[in-house]
Structures are given as structure tokens and as C-alpha cells.
Chains A and B, each alone.
Chain A
Amino acid sequence: MTDIRNILQDADPLRHEPPPSEGERDRLRHAAVAAAADATASAASAWFRAPTALMAAIALIIVVFVAFGSQSWPPGGATVQAAVRFEVRLAEDQAASGLHEARVAGSGRTIYLHEEVVVTNADIERSAVVPGSGPARFDIGVRFTAEGARKMREATANHAGRPLAILIDGDVVMAPTLRDPISADALITGDYSRAEAERIVNGISIR
């Protein structure tokens, strides 16, 4: 009887060849990590390549301010308040002391919010409308500031497998289960219309 296993083991190149050198390994590792960094950078630049509609919205805001002059500005030179209030909070699936019950918009799901706010508008460096899951559906890309990224990373480091609540104007618009710690970027996949996504992005950006 022919034993294929013995034949294969005898011919196995791993038994007769030296393993790849550390240099080869490092070369491959470097290429793969560089490709990952490039992919991240490309995705980010695609997010933050200002779309025409966003530029138009910014231009409109400038026009409105010019048209109404100083009457448009808050008295005393106070900071302009964000038109859209953005918050991220940790949440739980089970009720517990100190948590606030909230319903996730559009799903009927109930979650329980932590009191502390992880990040707000002030922690967002930029946001942009991003093509979504369908031809007329849009998501919102958010890039946190360095301080915001640090807060997110620290807050989410030990929260894997539990929900994270994204609140817009006080409503929980989504509460995804956290897979990995979040740091610099997040994508709010809210399945928005373009108008709604632009309203949120423009509102988040003003602070």
C-alpha cells in the first residue's frame, strides 16, 4: 500500500529549506502595514474631500452672515452654539443604577445610557457626508480631534461587546455594539437622506 503521507513528508520543502530570512519577513511586514496606512489615508481623504454640497452650505452660511451683519452674531461675542448637538456616550443593554433609559430611533430597541458624555461637538475636528448603503442614502464620517480621539480610545478600551450610543440633538440615533476601541474616526451609518446628512454635518461643524 502506498502511503501518500510518507511521500509528502519526505518531499516537504519545509524539511529541506531554511525558513525565510528576517529581512524577507520585515519586507513583507512593511509592505502590508504601509498598504494599510495608505488605505486608511485614502478613505479619510475621500471622506474629507469637501463635497460640492458641503461647500455650498458653507458659502450659504457666509452669505447669511454678511447679509444680516452683526445682528446675526450672538451678543457679547459669545461662541456660536452648535446647530446640531452631538454626543457619544457609553451604554448598556441591561438597566442598572445610575443609567438612563433611552430608545434607539427607528428600532424600538431600549438601551441604558451612562451619565458621562464621552465626546461632544467640541471634540470633532471634521465631519463629512459619505455615500451610504444605497444610491440615495448617506452616512456621516466623523474625525475626532487628538483630544477627542484620546477620550474615545480610553472610554471604549474596555467596552467591547457592549453598546455605544450616538446622540444627535439628544436622540439616540444609533447604538452599535462595539467591536474594537474607537480612536480617530467613526462612521455614523444612519441611512440618512442627503439633506438630513448635510444638516447634521453642517450643524456638527459649527461650534
Chain B
Amino acid sequence: MTTTLPIAVPGDQADRLSVLFDTHYDRLYRLARRLAPTADDALDLVQEAFLKAARSPRAVPVGLPGEEAWLVRVLINIRRDQWRKAAVRRRHDQTIGHPSGVDSGQEAALIARATIWRALDLLRPRRRAILVMHELEGLTIPAIASLLGISAVTVRWHLSMGRRDLARALKLPVGESR
């Protein structure tokens, strides 16, 4: 008889999920919020990512870096699937079209921010995630490459294209930011 596969260790999956959630929730929410149109959408994204981990516990690598990379990739993939459906964008459009309870100055600022955030929706989620991780989270290109399991060259390319697409969408002079 051959014994080629390692033993599977179910252990207490609920305990592991608790630890996984407590360890990665904040980081995952921050990314989700920067990928999603609204805070509610971001919470849904985070929940979906953890539910996937709960249903496929053996797919989640052991160890902090592996767990984080797995969760981040799952979250981006979920967002990609949502992005492909127009419903999410329509809901977002309705939301930003009806700011209420703010004075004119606040409203102008809110609309300006919403316009920028809506422009980000034009980017494919992976490109958007790369832009967000680099520009807002301050991750280096090699760190993003490692997290997403892609080459540094690909990350650099997505960054360049993302900045260009965003500048065009906002009708800004096209320029490179560092």
C-alpha cells in the first residue's frame, strides 16, 4: 500500500476560523472598503472571503503570510465577480446621486470624493487592488507581487495602466505618480 498523501487534520475548524478572523479582519476590511463602492459592500466582501475559508479550511495555507495572501486573493476574486455584474455599480450610482443631510460645502466635497471613487470602479478589481495597495497602503511592488502571486513586472504594468486609466476617467492631465 502506498502512502503518498499527508494526513489531513481537521482539528477544530471553528477555533481556527476564529483566530483567522481575529487576525485578518481589520486588514481585509481596509482593502475591501477601498475596492467596494460602499461600506456595506465592503462588509459583504469580507464576509464572503471568510465564508470561503470556513467552507474550504484545508485550502487556507498555514502561517500568517500564506493566510493573508490567500484571503486577499479570494477577496479580490469575489470583487471581480461582483464587478462583472452591473448591479453593484447601479447601486453605487444611486447612492452617490442622493447625498442628503449635508450643506453645500460638504456636499461638494462628498461629490468630489464620490466621483473619484466611482472612477476607480472603472478599473478591473485586481488593477484597482494593486493601485490601492501601492498608493494607499504603501506596499512595495515586490510585496504586492508576493501577496498576489504575480511578477513584479506585472505589478508595475498594472500600476502604470491604473494611474493612466484613472487620470483619463477624471479628465486630469496624464502624469505618473510615484
Contact = CB atoms under 8 A, between A and B. Distances in A.
B135 A105 contact: no
Nearest to A104: B3
Contact of B13 (A10, A12, A40, A181): A40
Interface string A171-194: 001111111111111111111100
B51 to A, nearest CB: 5
Interface of A: 1-14, 16-17, 19-20, 24-25, 28-29, 31-40, 43-44, 104-107, 133, 164, 166, 173-192, 196
B6 A190 contact: no
Given A1-B175, A10-B113, A189 B6 contact: yes
B82 interface: no
B50 A181 contact: no
Given A105-B1, A107-B2, A180-B11, A36 B47 contact: no
- Residue in B54, B55, B176 with the greatest tally of chain A CB atoms within 10 Å: B54
Nearest to B7: A176
Interface in B112-135: 112-113, 116-117, 120, 131-132, 135
B175 A191 contact: no
Contacts, number: 177
- Residue in B10, B47, B170 with the greatest tally of chain A CB atoms within 10 Å: B10
Contact of B9 (A33, A34, A179): A179
B3 A36 contact: no
Given A3-B177, A8-B135, A190-B1, A31 B47 contact: yes
A35 B167 CA distance: 42
Interface stretch (B26-34, B72-80, B83-91, B148-156): B26-34
B46 A187 contact: no
- Residue in A10, A36, A180 with the greatest tally of chain B CB atoms within 10 Å: A36
B133 to A, nearest CB: 11
Contacts of A10: 113, 116
Contacts of B22: 29
A180 B34 CA distance: 34
Given A106-B1, A180-B16, A196-B1, 8 more contacts: A2-B174, A8-B120, A12-B136, A28-B50, A33-B18, A35-B51, A183-B12, A184-B10
Contacts of A20: 29, 39, 43
Given A12-B136, A36-B57, A191 B4 contact: yes
B135 A39 contact: no
Interface of B: 1-14, 16-18, 21-22, 25, 29-30, 33-34, 39, 43, 46-47, 50-51, 53-55, 57, 62, 112-113, 116-117, 120, 131-132, 135-136, 163, 166-167, 170, 172-178
Contacts of A44: 10
Nearest to A19: B29
Given A184-B12, A185-B10, A36 B54 contact: yes
A196 B3 CA distance: 14
A132 to B, nearest CB: 8
Contacts of A173: 1, 3
15 contacts: A1-B175, A8-B135, A10-B113, A13-B34, A14-B33, A24-B43, A28-B46, A32-B21, A36-B57, A39-B54, A40-B14, A106-B3, A184-B10, A185-B10, A186-B9
Contacts of B55: 35, 39
A4 B167 contact: yes
Contacts of A39: 13, 54-55, 57
Contacts of A6: 177
Contacts of A133: 5
